[in-house]
Amino acid sequence: MKLPVIKHLTQFIEENDQDYIIETIEVLEAMTVISSLKDEELDVIGELISNMYGALEVQKLIKSGSNQKEALNTFMKRVMGSIDK
């Protein structure tokens, strides 16, 4: 996950709508079954999906009252905590 990408996507959600991100995730997930995709291409798609899900989680934190910086920090702490386990 890349924090600058998640931050940018969070801003996109605020300016537009989270449905765009959800629909994009659905398209990318549908593409993962293409048998001709190389491992590197699947890795890129996976990274994009991961960042989009991250942005949706950050957006939830913002809606619950956190400012963007707090929400990003909380999310990344949660991610790093789950990696350590």
Question: pLDDT (tens digit, 9 = 90+) per residue, 11-39?
Answer: 999 999 999 999 999 999 999 999 999 99
52 falls within a domain: yes
Task: Tell me the two tokens of residue 64.
Answer: 């619950």
28 falls within a domain: yes
Whole-angstrom distance, CA of residue 57 vs CA of residue 76: 10
Contact (CB, 8 A) for 79 and 27: no
85 falls within a domain: no
The four Cα atoms 85, 33, 45, 53 give a dihedral, to 10 degrees, of -60
33 falls within a domain: yes
Mean pLDDT of all residues in 37-45: 97
37 falls within a domain: yes
Count structural domains, the chain: 1
Q: Please check the confidence at residue 42 and state whether its pLDDT lies above 90.
A: yes
Residue 50 sits in which domain range?
3-80
